[in-house]
Amino acid sequence: MAKRQIGLVREPDTGERRQEWGTVGENELRIDRDTADAIVDALSVDHAGSFNLFYLLRKHYWTAEGAEFHDVADFLEDAYKRVRDINDHLAVRIVELGGIPPNTPPTIQDYAEVHLEAEDLYDLRTSLEGDLDGYATLVASVRDHVGLAEELGDAGTAERLRDHLEVLEDDAHAIEQFLEDDTLVREGTRE
């Protein structure tokens, strides 16, 4: 029987472990291990943050209501899919660099700078403000990590992060535009 760890995380009783969590192995990118280790640590923060942002956006897609429901829900659906793609691309790059991306809820939360929202339901404006805060946090982190990748000589990672940064900034701007609209109020509060 498999040994239980935290919640649903388990370690198999059989099978060969190919790599221990928290280590960085060789990579085919010809990036030295110390450099790869630093970049993997940075990308792990972005990966975990994008994971949490994905969940925020998806929750708000599920629960959006009010006067702007359809426009906002359509945007949130597209946005959470874009963030999910960014999350996947970051995980793939971590593996290409010889690392293992954070992949269990406890580890993701240890690395994430983007915070999850309480499980309660909030009005659409409050939800979008939280989403915008999540985007701001992730954008600042990714921007810092573009600089780190450039400084360490990993142009490939820097270029990928720049592409992700553009998508994140565009989506954040769209949320800002929704928030500028006074129609994002609860229907019962209109005069």
Share of the chain above pLDDT 70, in %: 90
Domain count, the chain: 1
Please tell me the distance from the alpha carbon of residue 33 to that of residue 183, in angstroms, as a whole number. 52
Which pLDDT value is given to residue 7? Answer: 62
Q: Residue 59's pLDDT band (boundaries 50, 70, 90)?
A: very high
Which pLDDT value is given to residue 190? Answer: 40
CATH number at residue 103: 1.20.1260.10
> How far is CA 92 from its chain centroid?
14
Q: Residue 82's pLDDT band (boundaries 50, 70, 90)?
A: very high
| Position 191 in a domain | no
Burial pattern 6-19, b for ≥16 Cβ within 10 A else e, equals eeeeeeeeeeeeee
| Position 2 in a domain | no
The mean per-residue pLDDT over the stretch 124-153 comes to 97
| Position 188 in a domain | no
The mean per-residue pLDDT over the stretch 138-167 comes to 98
| Residue 105 structural domain | 34-183
Q: Residue 81 contacts by C-beta under 8 Å, 6 or more apart in sequence? A: none
Check pLDDT > 90 for residue 51: yes
The mean per-residue pLDDT over the stretch 43-64 comes to 97
Higher pLDDT, 65 or 39: 39
Tokens of 162: 């720049």
Question: Mean pLDDT in the chain?
Answer: 91
DSSP 101-136: ---SHHHHHHH--SPPPPSS---HHHHHHHHHHHHH
| Position 84 in a domain | yes
| Position 142 in a domain | yes
The mean per-residue pLDDT over the stretch 71-91 comes to 97
| Position 138 in a domain | yes
Tokens of 157: 């990672």
Which pLDDT value is given to residue 189? Answer: 45
| Position 158 in a domain | yes
| Position 113 in a domain | yes
How many helices (H) does the chain have, and how many strands (E)?
5, 2
Which pLDDT value is given to residue 66? Answer: 78
